[in-house]
Amino acid sequence: MADLHALLQSAKCVLFDFDGPICRLFHGHPPAQVADRMRLRLAELGEPDLRTEVAGHQDPYRVLGHVAHAPGRDAAAIALEQLLTREELAAVQTAEPTDDVAELIRRLVESGRQIAVTTNNSERSVRAYLHRKGLARWFGPHIHGRTADAKHLKPDPHCLHRALASTRAAPEETVMIGDTAADLQAARTAGVSFVGFAASPHATAFGTGRADLVVHGMAELLNGATPPPTPPLPPDR
Protein backbone atom coordinates (compact mmCIF):
# COMPACT_ATOMS: atom_id res chain seq x y z
CA MET A 1 0.00 0.00 0.00
CA ALA A 2 1.22 3.46 -0.87
CA ASP A 3 1.47 6.24 1.68
CA LEU A 4 -1.73 8.26 1.49
CA HIS A 5 -0.16 11.64 2.08
CA ALA A 6 2.68 11.04 -0.38
CA LEU A 7 0.38 9.69 -3.09
CA LEU A 8 -1.96 12.67 -3.02
CA GLN A 9 0.82 15.21 -2.48
CA SER A 10 2.61 14.02 -5.62
CA ALA A 11 -0.57 14.01 -7.74
CA LYS A 12 -1.04 16.84 -10.20
CA CYS A 13 -4.44 15.58 -11.33
CA VAL A 14 -7.23 13.81 -9.44
CA LEU A 15 -10.03 11.98 -11.26
CA PHE A 16 -13.30 11.40 -9.40
CA ASP A 17 -15.77 8.68 -10.14
CA PHE A 18 -19.18 10.33 -9.60
CA ASP A 19 -21.68 7.94 -7.97
CA GLY A 20 -20.10 7.03 -4.65
CA PRO A 21 -17.12 9.35 -4.32
CA ILE A 22 -19.07 12.58 -5.03
CA CYS A 23 -22.64 11.62 -4.11
CA ARG A 24 -25.03 8.75 -3.64
CA LEU A 25 -26.85 9.33 -6.91
CA PHE A 26 -29.63 6.79 -6.43
CA HIS A 27 -30.26 7.55 -2.74
CA GLY A 28 -33.93 8.33 -3.38
CA HIS A 29 -34.41 6.70 -6.78
CA PRO A 30 -33.97 2.92 -6.51
CA PRO A 31 -31.70 1.57 -9.29
CA ALA A 32 -33.48 -1.80 -9.35
CA GLN A 33 -36.66 0.01 -10.42
CA VAL A 34 -34.68 1.79 -13.13
CA ALA A 35 -33.51 -1.62 -14.39
CA ASP A 36 -37.15 -2.77 -14.40
CA ARG A 37 -38.18 0.22 -16.52
CA MET A 38 -35.32 -0.52 -18.93
CA ARG A 39 -36.65 -4.07 -19.35
CA LEU A 40 -40.12 -2.71 -20.00
CA ARG A 41 -38.65 -0.44 -22.66
CA LEU A 42 -36.97 -3.44 -24.30
CA ALA A 43 -40.38 -5.13 -24.49
CA GLU A 44 -41.90 -2.00 -26.05
CA LEU A 45 -39.07 -1.96 -28.59
CA GLY A 46 -39.89 -5.53 -29.65
CA GLU A 47 -36.75 -7.02 -28.05
CA PRO A 48 -38.13 -9.86 -25.88
CA ASP A 49 -34.93 -11.91 -26.22
CA LEU A 50 -32.78 -9.09 -24.92
CA ARG A 51 -35.27 -8.54 -22.11
CA THR A 52 -34.91 -12.17 -21.07
CA GLU A 53 -31.10 -12.01 -21.24
CA VAL A 54 -31.01 -9.13 -18.73
CA ALA A 55 -33.83 -10.49 -16.55
CA GLY A 56 -31.66 -10.97 -13.47
CA HIS A 57 -29.80 -7.65 -13.54
CA GLN A 58 -30.62 -5.22 -10.71
CA ASP A 59 -27.96 -2.77 -11.91
CA PRO A 60 -29.14 -0.50 -14.78
CA TYR A 61 -25.55 -0.14 -16.03
CA ARG A 62 -25.25 -3.90 -16.45
CA VAL A 63 -28.48 -3.84 -18.45
CA LEU A 64 -27.19 -1.06 -20.68
CA GLY A 65 -23.76 -2.66 -21.08
CA HIS A 66 -25.30 -5.99 -22.10
CA VAL A 67 -27.54 -4.40 -24.73
CA ALA A 68 -24.73 -2.14 -26.02
CA HIS A 69 -22.54 -5.20 -26.67
CA ALA A 70 -25.32 -7.24 -28.32
CA PRO A 71 -24.60 -7.36 -32.07
CA GLY A 72 -27.03 -5.44 -34.27
CA ARG A 73 -29.00 -3.89 -31.39
CA ASP A 74 -27.79 -0.31 -31.74
CA ALA A 75 -31.30 1.20 -31.77
CA ALA A 76 -32.22 -0.55 -28.52
CA ALA A 77 -28.92 0.52 -26.92
CA ILE A 78 -29.50 4.15 -27.91
CA ALA A 79 -33.07 4.09 -26.56
CA LEU A 80 -31.92 2.60 -23.23
CA GLU A 81 -29.06 5.07 -22.94
CA GLN A 82 -31.51 7.95 -23.37
CA LEU A 83 -33.92 6.42 -20.86
CA LEU A 84 -31.09 5.99 -18.35
CA THR A 85 -30.09 9.65 -18.78
CA ARG A 86 -33.65 10.71 -17.94
CA GLU A 87 -33.63 8.43 -14.89
CA GLU A 88 -30.29 9.87 -13.73
CA LEU A 89 -31.60 13.43 -14.12
CA ALA A 90 -34.56 12.46 -11.91
CA ALA A 91 -32.18 10.81 -9.41
CA VAL A 92 -30.12 14.01 -9.15
CA GLN A 93 -33.07 15.67 -7.37
CA THR A 94 -32.71 13.35 -4.38
CA ALA A 95 -28.99 12.52 -4.55
CA GLU A 96 -27.10 12.79 -1.26
CA PRO A 97 -23.64 14.37 -1.12
CA THR A 98 -20.68 12.35 0.10
CA ASP A 99 -19.31 13.76 3.36
CA ASP A 100 -16.32 16.11 3.05
CA VAL A 101 -16.01 15.78 -0.74
CA ALA A 102 -16.87 19.44 -1.40
CA GLU A 103 -14.03 20.50 0.89
CA LEU A 104 -11.65 18.02 -0.76
CA ILE A 105 -12.57 19.36 -4.22
CA ARG A 106 -12.00 22.96 -3.12
CA ARG A 107 -8.64 22.18 -1.53
CA LEU A 108 -7.40 20.22 -4.54
CA VAL A 109 -8.16 23.08 -6.92
CA GLU A 110 -6.86 25.80 -4.60
CA SER A 111 -3.61 23.86 -4.21
CA GLY A 112 -3.12 24.04 -7.98
CA ARG A 113 -4.21 20.56 -8.97
CA GLN A 114 -6.35 19.59 -11.93
CA ILE A 115 -9.55 17.68 -11.24
CA ALA A 116 -12.00 15.86 -13.50
CA VAL A 117 -15.00 13.53 -13.29
CA THR A 118 -14.65 10.13 -14.96
CA THR A 119 -17.94 8.29 -14.76
CA ASN A 120 -20.36 5.84 -16.39
CA ASN A 121 -23.14 8.35 -15.66
CA SER A 122 -24.25 10.86 -18.27
CA GLU A 123 -22.43 14.18 -18.41
CA ARG A 124 -25.81 15.96 -18.24
CA SER A 125 -26.74 14.38 -14.92
CA VAL A 126 -23.29 15.00 -13.41
CA ARG A 127 -23.39 18.63 -14.51
CA ALA A 128 -26.94 19.04 -13.14
CA TYR A 129 -25.87 17.69 -9.75
CA LEU A 130 -22.69 19.78 -9.56
CA HIS A 131 -24.64 22.92 -10.46
CA ARG A 132 -27.22 22.14 -7.79
CA LYS A 133 -24.49 21.86 -5.17
CA GLY A 134 -22.41 24.82 -6.36
CA LEU A 135 -19.50 22.57 -7.37
CA ALA A 136 -19.59 22.87 -11.17
CA ARG A 137 -17.15 25.79 -11.32
CA TRP A 138 -14.38 23.67 -9.79
CA PHE A 139 -14.55 21.15 -12.63
CA GLY A 140 -15.10 23.49 -15.59
CA PRO A 141 -15.21 21.46 -18.80
CA HIS A 142 -13.57 18.38 -17.27
CA ILE A 143 -16.64 16.17 -16.88
CA HIS A 144 -16.22 12.96 -18.83
CA GLY A 145 -19.25 10.73 -18.70
CA ARG A 146 -20.97 8.06 -20.73
CA THR A 147 -21.15 8.72 -24.44
CA ALA A 148 -23.97 7.73 -26.79
CA ASP A 149 -21.93 4.59 -27.53
CA ALA A 150 -22.43 2.70 -24.27
CA LYS A 151 -19.86 0.07 -25.23
CA HIS A 152 -17.29 2.37 -23.63
CA LEU A 153 -18.55 2.07 -20.05
CA LYS A 154 -15.82 1.42 -17.47
CA PRO A 155 -13.86 -0.89 -17.12
CA ASP A 156 -13.10 0.48 -20.59
CA PRO A 157 -10.72 3.40 -19.80
CA HIS A 158 -12.36 5.62 -22.47
CA CYS A 159 -13.54 8.35 -20.03
CA LEU A 160 -10.16 8.35 -18.24
CA HIS A 161 -8.31 8.80 -21.53
CA ARG A 162 -10.58 11.75 -22.36
CA ALA A 163 -9.94 13.27 -18.93
CA LEU A 164 -6.16 12.89 -19.30
CA ALA A 165 -6.35 14.53 -22.73
CA SER A 166 -8.53 17.44 -21.53
CA THR A 167 -6.40 18.16 -18.43
CA ARG A 168 -3.12 17.39 -20.25
CA ALA A 169 -2.12 15.36 -17.21
CA ALA A 170 0.38 12.51 -17.38
CA PRO A 171 -1.00 9.18 -16.12
CA GLU A 172 1.90 8.75 -13.68
CA GLU A 173 0.99 12.08 -12.06
CA THR A 174 -2.71 11.23 -11.81
CA VAL A 175 -4.80 9.53 -9.14
CA MET A 176 -8.34 8.23 -9.54
CA ILE A 177 -10.78 7.96 -6.63
CA GLY A 178 -13.32 5.24 -7.38
CA ASP A 179 -15.54 2.73 -5.66
CA THR A 180 -15.86 -0.31 -7.92
CA ALA A 181 -13.72 -3.02 -9.50
CA ALA A 182 -14.54 -1.45 -12.88
CA ASP A 183 -13.02 1.84 -11.70
CA LEU A 184 -9.91 0.03 -10.52
CA GLN A 185 -9.53 -1.87 -13.79
CA ALA A 186 -10.01 1.31 -15.85
CA ALA A 187 -7.39 3.13 -13.75
CA ARG A 188 -4.92 0.28 -14.14
CA THR A 189 -5.42 0.17 -17.92
CA ALA A 190 -4.94 3.95 -18.16
CA GLY A 191 -1.83 3.77 -15.96
CA VAL A 192 -3.13 6.00 -13.15
CA SER A 193 -2.95 5.32 -9.40
CA PHE A 194 -6.12 4.26 -7.64
CA VAL A 195 -7.66 5.14 -4.30
CA GLY A 196 -10.60 2.91 -3.38
CA PHE A 197 -13.44 4.64 -1.53
CA ALA A 198 -14.65 1.86 0.74
CA ALA A 199 -17.49 3.77 2.42
CA SER A 200 -19.52 3.83 -0.79
CA PRO A 201 -22.60 1.59 -0.92
CA HIS A 202 -21.12 0.11 -4.12
CA ALA A 203 -17.69 -0.60 -2.70
CA THR A 204 -17.64 -4.31 -2.10
CA ALA A 205 -15.95 -5.45 -5.25
CA PHE A 206 -12.35 -4.24 -5.23
CA GLY A 207 -9.79 -6.18 -3.26
CA THR A 208 -8.03 -3.95 -0.75
CA GLY A 209 -4.68 -5.37 -1.79
CA ARG A 210 -5.05 -4.23 -5.38
CA ALA A 211 -5.88 -0.56 -4.86
CA ASP A 212 -2.91 1.68 -4.09
CA LEU A 213 -4.88 2.92 -1.09
CA VAL A 214 -8.27 2.39 0.47
CA VAL A 215 -10.01 5.15 2.43
CA HIS A 216 -13.24 5.02 4.40
CA GLY A 217 -14.04 8.72 4.16
CA MET A 218 -12.98 11.72 2.12
CA ALA A 219 -11.72 13.39 5.32
CA GLU A 220 -8.77 10.96 5.19
CA LEU A 221 -7.69 12.63 1.94
CA LEU A 222 -7.96 16.23 3.10
CA ASN A 223 -4.48 16.45 4.60
CA GLY A 224 -2.90 15.30 1.35
CA ALA A 225 -4.70 18.03 -0.60
CA THR A 226 -2.41 20.80 0.58
CA PRO A 227 0.06 22.52 -1.74
CA PRO A 228 3.23 20.54 -2.45
CA PRO A 229 6.05 21.63 -0.11
CA THR A 230 8.22 24.44 -1.46
CA PRO A 231 11.91 23.50 -1.56
CA PRO A 232 14.01 25.51 0.96
CA LEU A 233 15.85 28.52 -0.43
CA PRO A 234 19.61 28.02 -0.80
CA PRO A 235 21.64 29.72 1.95
CA ASP A 236 23.01 33.18 1.25
CA ARG A 237 26.66 33.25 0.32
DSSP string, 38-91: HHHHHHHTT-HHHHHHTTT---HHHHHHHHHHSTT-HHHHHHHHHHHHHHHHHH
User: Measured at CB, which residue is nearest to Mg ion?
Assistant: 20
**Total residues at the site for Mg ion (CB under 5 A)?**
4
Site string for Mg ion, 164-203 (x = CB under 5 A): ---------------x------------------------
- Could you tell me the smallest distance in angstroms from the CB atom of residue 156 to Mg ion? 15
Q: Is the dihedral of CA 166, 171, 174, 176 positive or negative?
A: positive
Residue 81 binds Mg ion (CB under 5 A): no
| Beta carbons of 196 and 36 less than 8 angstroms apart | no
Say how many C-beta atoms besides its own lie within 10 A of residue 228's C-beta: 12
Give the interface segment with Mg ion, choosing from 17-25, 90-98, 137-145, 151-159 (CB under 5 A): 17-25
What is the C-alpha separation between 229 and 79, in angstroms, rounded? 50
What is the C-alpha separation between 147 and 158, in angstroms, rounded? 10
- Could you tell me the smallest distance in angstroms from the CB atom of residue 42 to Mg ion? 24
- Could you tell me the smallest distance in angstroms from the CB atom of residue 88 to Mg ion? 13
Give the interface segment with Mg ion, choosing from 16-24, 126-134, 190-198, 212-220 (CB under 5 A): 16-24
What are the CA-CA distances from residue 49 to residues 70, 71, 213 (Å)? 11, 13, 42
Backbone angles phi, psi at 141, to 5 degrees: -80, 0
Residue 20 or 157: the one with the smaller Cβ distance to Mg ion is 20
- Could you tell me the smallest distance in angstroms from the CB atom of residue 43 to Mg ion? 29
Which amino acid would we find at residue 144? H
Residue 113 or 154: the one with the smaller Cβ distance to Mg ion is 154
- Could you tell me the smallest distance in angstroms from the CB atom of residue 226 to Mg ion? 26
What is the C-alpha separation between 188 and 182, in angstroms, rounded? 10
Q: E strand or H helix at 179, and its extent?
A: none
Q: Which residue, among 22, 14, 32, has the nearest Cα to 135 in the 3D structure?
A: 22
Residue 88 binds Mg ion (CB under 5 A): no
Residue 17 binds Mg ion (CB under 5 A): yes
Residue 179 or 212: the one with the smaller Cβ distance to Mg ion is 179
Q: Which of residues 113-152 bind Mg ion (CB under 5 A)?
A: none
User: According to CB under 5 A, which one of 13, 14, 16, 19 is a site residue for Mg ion?
Assistant: 19
Q: Given its phi and psi angles, is residue 147 left (phi above 0), alpha (psi -120 to 50 degrees) or beta?
A: beta
- Could you tell me the smallest distance in angstroms from the CB atom of residue 195 to Mg ion? 13
Residue 191 or 201: the one with the smaller Cβ distance to Mg ion is 201
User: According to CB under 5 A, which one of 11, 14, 16, 20 is a site residue for Mg ion?
Assistant: 20
| Residues at the contact surface with Mg ion, assessed by CB under 5 A | 17, 19-20, 179
